[in-house]
């Protein structure tokens, strides 16, 4: 069975500082990997996804993530955070079936990001 | 991008009553929609896959008689929480797939008193 671990429940960074959110997955083969962001009381917005090819993927809002097969990781990074980046971030893994892995997504427990001035 | 509208955003009901949550794809047709449940400080858990014109597919442990799903058209799926109890209080989110991407509704916070 696939699973996702986000070891950091809450991270606080200063505005302008760099950010890395950790994500480790468990899956029998190469999975589809996603990062979503959720603002309070809102649905989820896709930041980026990895299906195949270049292991460094670029997303919206200046985010990027790197797929490392040897470490079963898909960490999210941003070189300089903005106050508007404060939100909950979810890593997710999808199985290589139909619909680009969107069916039966397994989410991590999320990392809450707080930005301080 | 595509827009998925979810309504209501917040509902409070008495124990024993039923609550219906709507999920609409506003600018695209969605043959498949998904319903998730999110507990406080927890991850989203897939409850069921809603298929237009056919029965929904429920995940293990989800009571299909309690969480009724209807996907009568290509733009609308509804989730009805029947005979709601306080333990059903949660944040429910729907999503729809378009061109390989998932688009999420803004969620419904259900509080059962």
pLDDT in tens, A17-44: 999 999 999 987 778 899 999 987 777 8
- Tell whether A28 lies on the interface with B, counting CB pairs under 8 A: no
Smallest Cβ–Cβ distance between A100 and the set B41, B93, B100 belongs to B100
Which pLDDT score is estimated for B78?
A: 95
Which pLDDT score is estimated for B66?
A: 96
Where does the pLDDT of residue B42 fall: very low under 50, low under 70, confident under 90, or very high at 90 and above? confident
pLDDT surpassing 60 at residue B39: yes
- Tell whether B35 lies on the interface with A, counting CB pairs under 8 A: no
> How far B11 CA sits from the closest chain A CA (Å)?
13
Q: What's the CA gap between A64 and A58, in Å, rounded? A: 4
Query: What is the average pLDDT across B80-98?
Result: 93
Helix, strand or coil for residue A79?
coil
pLDDT surpassing 80 at residue A63: yes
Q: What is the DSSP letter of A104?
A: T
Question: CB under 8 Å to A50, separation ≥6 — which residues?
Answer: A32, A33, A34, A57, A65, A67, A74
Smallest Cβ–Cβ distance between B102 and the set A41, A46, A109 belongs to A46
Where does the pLDDT of residue A98 fall: very low under 50, low under 70, confident under 90, or very high at 90 and above? low
pLDDT surpassing 70 at residue B71: yes
Query: What is the average pLDDT across B97-111?
Result: 86
pLDDT surpassing 90 at residue A52: no
Smallest Cβ–Cβ distance between A46 and the set B41, B101, B105 belongs to B101
> Are the CB atoms for A87 and A81 separated by under 8 Å?
no
Q: Degrees (nearest 5) of the Cα angle B104, B107, B108?
A: 155
Which pLDDT score is estimated for A37?
A: 95
Strand partners, A75: A66
Contact residues, chain A, for B34 at CB < 8 Å: 102-103, 105
Residue indicated by tokens 């449940």: B37
Question: CB under 8 Å to B18, separation ≥6 — which residues?
Answer: B80, B81, B82, B83, B84
pLDDT digits (tens, 9 = 90+) for A67-77: 999 999 999 99
Which pLDDT score is estimated for A39?
A: 86
| Average confidence score pLDDT of chain A | 90
Distance from the first to the final alpha carbon of chain A: 41
Which of B68, B104, B107, B72 has the alpha carbon at shortest distance from B90? B107
């Amino acid at each position: 069975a696939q699973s996702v671990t986000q070891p950091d429940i809450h991270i606080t960074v200063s505005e302008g500082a760099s950010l890395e959110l950790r994500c480790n997955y468990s899956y029998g083969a190469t999975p589809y990997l996603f990062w979503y962001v959720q603002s309070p009381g809102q649905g989820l917005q896709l930041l980026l996804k990895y299906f195949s090819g270049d292991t460094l993927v670029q997303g919206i809002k200046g985010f990027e993530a790197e797929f490392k097969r040897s470490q079963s990781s898909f960490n999210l990074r941003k070189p300089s955070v903005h106050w508007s980046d404060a939100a909950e971030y979810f890593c997710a893994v999808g199985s290589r079936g139909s619909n680009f892995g969107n069916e039966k997504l397994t989410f991590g427990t999320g990392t809450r990001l707080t930005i301080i001035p | 991008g595509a827009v998925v509208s979810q309504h209501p955003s917040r509902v409070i009901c008495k124990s024993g009553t039923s609550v219906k949550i709507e999920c609409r794809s506003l600018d695209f047709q969605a043959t498949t929609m998904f319903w998730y449940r999110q507990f406080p400080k927890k991850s989203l858990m897939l409850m069921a896959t809603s298929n237009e014109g056919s029965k929904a597919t429920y995940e293990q442990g989800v009571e299909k008689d309690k969480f009724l799903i209807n996907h009568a058209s290509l733009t609308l799926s509804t989730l009805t929480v029947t005979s709601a109890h306080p333990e059903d209080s949660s944040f429910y989110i729907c999503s729809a797939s378009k061109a390989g991407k998932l688009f999420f509704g803004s969620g419904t916070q259900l509080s059962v008193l």
